[in-house]
Structure 1
């Protein structure tokens, strides 16, 4: 679990902290091995050995090797931040505040991990294909949170398309900037959401 996740949740017991530490170790060693020998050449068995866990333990935390890269620890924290916003804020304003609140808490090493995750997704064909499922899942989570906030059905067409536009705007801002270590990713995302709030004028 990231420090961000720890900061955004109530205190947890020793068992949960150990599970979070194991999960983080698996991902850390996996990303190191991907850097050193490539994604395709790295096996689950190698990751498990490096993290000093069994392959069966690996699969308890990540159903597939792809999930080590694709699983997004920031999503639930962002949704919690959204739920914390005052009810009188318009949805787009609540999202902007929640995004800033969440992203500004990320330490530099966490931002680098996020950059590395997305760079892998872009460069590895099988991850690019699987990313659609992850984007769909994230969009559904956001749709559910917005529907709850608005007292509407998650299947509401307006809510679903609004959520899809939000995700699309954020990805369009983030992905081209991942290779620039000096890019202000928080500012870029907020600028994209500001344009959405203004009706995307061209």
Structure 2
């Protein structure tokens, strides 16, 4: 692909991410002010200075404005850049923690508010299961590629489920702590997994 075409794609993706972040920011503010159920897509679009049709180009539903993020490609990239000498668990741990420590405080605040809403609104909790399942599939594909094995391998599928389980166990905390405190909690939880889930 010519360099100019790559630059155009990169610019388009950055513009898309910026618009999505702006819409989410306005949506979260309105959810706090009016409540999730009382806030309409039309109100979110008006606050973000876009049309409702533009809103639906970025988010399929009102639920998606809470559930969607752009962090998966960053996780994959960070994982692929880990030393081949590390175990899959060590590589995932490093990739996840680096992702948390490298985002801005503003991005963490958005993440914190999103998780708070997900835990508080029953339909968002239910819809989040789809995202968590997708995350499990992403993790299994990442690890399978690293090890040269099938993503259907029971050990690799179990690994993906365990990492997602760790994230679920920490979602409550993410609404109350700073991003660096959360990174520490995540590291401690994954160290427990690395030791074989031995609880003394």
Structure 2 length as normaliser, TM-score?
A: 0.89
- Asked whether the equivalents of residues 170 and 192 of structure 1 are also in contact (C-alpha less than 8 Å), the reply is no
Q: Distance in 2 between matches of 1:69 and 1:81?
A: 24
1:96 aligns with 2:89: no
Q: Distance in 1 between matches of 2:8 and 2:167?
A: 30
Q: For each residue in 1:146-172, what CA deviation from the matched residue of structure 2 results, as whole angstroms up to 9, or x when unmatched? A: 111111111111101111001111321
1:151 aligns with 2:152: no
What's 1:59 paired with?
56
Q: Distance in 1 between matches of 2:11 and 2:87?
A: 39
C-alpha deviation, 1:112, in angstroms: 1.5
Give the number of the structure whose residues are more often helix, by fraction: 2
C-alpha deviation, 1:176, in angstroms: 3.2
Aligned with residue 181 of structure 1, among 167, 177, 193: 177
Q: Distance in 1 between matches of 2:10 and 2:112?
A: 31
Q: Distance in 1 between matches of 2:83 and 2:35?
A: 45
Structure 2: give runs of 5+ residues left out of the alignment: 1-6
Q: Distance in 2 between matches of 1:48 and 1:55?
A: 5
C-alpha deviation, 1:12, in angstroms: 5.8
- Asked whether the equivalents of residues 170 and 193 of structure 1 are also in contact (C-alpha less than 8 Å), the reply is no
Change (3 A) 1:94 1:24: same
Secondary structure, counterpart of 2:162 in structure 1: helix
Structure 1 length as normaliser, TM-score?
A: 0.88
- Asked whether the equivalents of residues 119 and 172 of structure 2 are also in contact (C-alpha less than 8 Å), the reply is no
Structure 1: give runs of 5+ residues left out of the alignment: 1-9
Q: Which runs of 4+ in 1 moved over 6 A?
A: none
1:29 aligns with 2:26: yes
Secondary structure, counterpart of 1:117 in structure 2: helix
Q: Distance in 2 between matches of 1:61 and 1:190?
A: 33
1:107 aligns with 2:96: no
Identify the range of structure 1 (31-40 vs 20-29) with the bigger mean alpha-carbon deviation.
20-29
Change (3 A) 1:101 1:40: same
Aligned with residue 77 of structure 2, among 80, 83, 90: 80
